Structures are given as C-alpha cells and as structure tokens.
Structure 1
C-alpha cells in the first residue's frame, strides 16, 4: 500500500506541470495579442491624410510646365499640381504645396514634410526611404539640350573630356551622367534655372534632362533636342514615404494610376499642359512616344 508521502510528490509535479503549461499558453496568447496590436493597419497613412485634411505635395521653382507658380498670386499650378489636386479632391482633402528641390526629396520624405511626389525615376539611394509605385504614370526618356549645331548624338560620343555637361544635383540625371559619361566634364547645379544659365552662357555644352523638360528648355534658349542613342526610357512614377501602414495608400494610388493610363487621361493631361504653355510637342523626336 502506497503512503501519502509517495503520492504527494507526483500530484505536486502534475500540478506544477499544469501550471507551467497554462502559463506558457497565457504568454503565447499575450504575445500574439501584442503582435496584432503592434501590426500596422494597412490604411494607417491613408486615414491619417484624410483626417489631416491635407495632401502635402512638393513643388519646385523653374520646373515648368510640371510646376508653375503664378507670379501675381503665388499660387502653384502645372500638370503635377493638377494631378495632386485630382487625388486630393477624391480623398476629400486639400493639396498643399511644399517648396523644395529634386535633391531634397528623400530628406523631405524622411522628415515627414510631404505625402506624395510625382514624376520620380526609381532611384536605389532614394529608395531607402521612398516607396515607388510599380506602375509609371507616364513614360519619359533621357535627352540632351544643346545650342544649335551640336553634333554628338550618342552616349559614347558624349563620354569625352572635351564635352561639358550640366546636370541637376541629386537628381537621376546626375546618376545618368556619371554612369554613361564619366570622362566628360560634369557640373552639378542646384536647380534647372542654374543649369539653363550654364548652357546660355557657354559654360556648358550639354544639359541632360528628361525629354519633357528638354522641350521647355529648348524653347527658352532656342536650342536643339537630341535623344542620345541608345535611347534610355525613363518611367516617371509616384513616390510615397516608406513607413508602416502605407500599403493601402500605395494600393489606392496604383488603382488611380492604372485608370489614368488605361483611359488616356495622363497622356491627355500632358498634351494639354504643354499646348497651354505654348510648347509645340512636334519638337519631340519622332522615335519617342509617351
């Protein structure tokens, strides 16, 4: 016959094991609950923008017709602002311009100064803090603007120490110049107007820009546009700040872009913007289409 002295240790062991199992189960439940609480709502950013009543958009001096500042009122327009206003209207908020430069965009996103940016070219360095939509709003290409009579038409010919190239600092055009024409004399400047001045003064032979910008610059200086070969197509997309809870925002913007492209709305807006700005798109090289 077993004594109680022999039974109690087993009962105590079973009881301790039961308590341990219950404690582990409780910990797992608490951990899962904490994880679910910490997991970001995919609509967090979209809801935040709608609650704030503002869609903060970067604007830039000297970037017509994408960004146009009314000298009399200070109000911002241009096709990028038109798109921003369209998105803001659908969200029930107001588009608020934030003056900056291409080179400062990544820092502006990181500092949470802006909610969206248009016409971006995927850039791995900037991509550390910016999420790009997977579909482009329109297709661009890298071009050069020169004075009439400039004869070099390939990237290989431009890659020469005698060729003086001006680019906007921190933009993708600087990446292109340093990758394809490292032997050329490359001068980075803060913004487009300074680049145009370098070209007008004769301190630069070539300015590398997106082709839609090239059309505007060529009009200003009575210059010529060349698409150096091989032609480098350039997807112009939308960027948003990389942060938790922006999945719903990105998905919604992707749907908006798909509609703009499918119905020809994006292409039509570009066409109208250039015509309204007095720019003849027949200046575009025949091998390019957007």
Structure 2
C-alpha cells in the first residue's frame, strides 16, 4: 500500500488532526521578517495621503508634492529602512481595500476599528492621542452627545471613518450626512446643509478657521488614540515589532509631541481649546 493510500485509510479524525498539525507547522515556519524584507527589496515605502487633511497631509497645488507631519513620519521610517517614500492618494474609507490590494505598506492616525481590524493589524502603542470634537458655526448651543442626539441636528461625517461610527452609536436620532472627504463636509456646513461635523479635535481646530466657527468637545470627552496600521499577513511580526520600537522612542523622547506642536503652530492652530487635563 502506498503512502497516500495508507494516509487515506486513517480515521477521519486522525487525518484532520494531522492536517491541523501540518498547517500549524507551516505558519510557525513563516519568516517573521517577510514583510520587512519585501519593503526593503521593493525600494519604496507606500503610504496613504489624503486631500483636505492638513496639517497631517499637505499637497502643494503647484508641484503636487506632499508634506505634513504624517509625511514626515513616513519619510523618517523610510530613511531608517533605506528606501524611498511613495505617497498613494486615497481616502480613510478605502484604506482596508488599499492594504488588501498591496497599494500601501503603512498608515498613520488610524482609530481603533474592529471591522477594519479584520484585514489590518494595529500596533499596540498609539503614536499620539487626541479627542473627538465637533466643529460648528458660532452660536451652536449643544454641548453634550446626548443633546446632539436630536432629529433636528444635522451631523456631517466622513464616510467609512470612525466619526461615522461615533455618530451612528451616540447620535442615531440625528440626521447623519456621510461625505467622502473633509472638504465636502466643510461645504455642507458653509452651505447650511449641516449644523456640525465630527472630527478629531486637531482637525476640528483647523476647520474652525475655514467656517469662522467654534470647536466643541462634547461631554463626556471621547479620547481618540492615533494608531499605526499595517497589512494583516504572515511574516509581518518583525515589521510590527520594529515599528513599535520606533513609536516608543518617538513618545518617550517627546519627538512625536514636539513634531505635532511645531506643525500646529506653523498652521496657526490654536490649541487653547483643549482642556488642561488633556495631553496628547
């Protein structure tokens, strides 16, 4: 009897056990540095950039070149890996699909999202923390999430982003208006088709100037950890471990906080709206 025939003659439960052992062994033998080696051999670190997301992503309309603190961080990582940066224009809602299509290798500023987490691995150390806010025209009086949960309130959110999750969870009675990009949300408020927009507080402070409005931190305050995400794939353990090491250095030495302060100051963003007990 051949080896294959002997194998097939085994009881079903024994055969299933052997297959499980073989599968586990193959995963155990996967090179933990496969993702890191792939990026190095490709010569580029691909990362997403987004229109209207200043000062994290800033596009020069004359040259098409990108800058901003997210771009700076990507460049820093690429330099350490000995590769070049390759910006990929996209939206927050497309990030999971971009990872699956191998269009990007890393993304900054992700918020915890279990649905996205099915295909994206989040590092367990946030690069910085901010809070969820609303931006509204001056005179808007509602100051809590409970007050915003009203059919008369029109709330604009970016489609597929965490702000949409928050709106649907805390303000389901409100009129929720999803848009693809932040500038479209700004237009909704300027055209009086929306009352407020949910944003990370640093983004809200930026938008405040565009609509001559105000930033409100609805109570209770919701903290917003800004995570790094990488593709969920065999062999990304070494890449993830190396990035956590980089994040810990950025925070421990004050490099991340210093970069953010400098970027906000350069953009004319007034951080005085933040509560004294809040620290990013």
Query: RMSD over aligned Cα, in angstroms?
Result: 1.9
Aligned length: 263
Larger radius of gyration: 1
Q: What are the within-5 Å matches in structure 2 for residues 99-248 of structure 1?
A: 99-248=89-238
Any unmatched runs of 5+ in structure 2?
Answer: 1-5, 7-17
Specify the SS of the correspondent of 1:182. coil
Alpha-carbon shift at residue 37 of structure 1 (Å) = 8.9
- Are residues 225 and 286 of structure 1, via their aligned partners in 2, closer, same or farther at CA, if it must alter by over 3 Å? farther
Alpha-carbon shift at residue 208 of structure 1 (Å) = 0.3
Any unmatched runs of 5+ in structure 1?
Answer: 1-19, 21-27
CA contact (8 A) 1:103 1:169 kept: yes
TM-score (norm 2): 0.90
| Cα distance in structure 1, aligned partners of 2:189 and 2:275 | 21
Match of 1:251 among 211, 236, 241: 241
Specify the SS of the correspondent of 1:135. coil
| Cα distance in structure 2, aligned partners of 1:278 and 1:214 | 13
Alpha-carbon shift at residue 71 of structure 1 (Å) = 1.4
| Cα distance in structure 2, aligned partners of 1:203 and 1:113 | 35
Alpha-carbon shift at residue 288 of structure 1 (Å) = 2.9
Q: CA offsets, 1:219-252, max 9 Å, x none? A: 1111100100000001101000000000000000
Specify the SS of the correspondent of 2:86. strand
- Are residues 283 and 51 of structure 1, via their aligned partners in 2, closer, same or farther at CA, if it must alter by over 3 Å? same
Does residue 265 (structure 1) correspond to residue 249 (structure 2)? The answer is no
| Cα distance in structure 2, aligned partners of 1:226 and 1:150 | 9
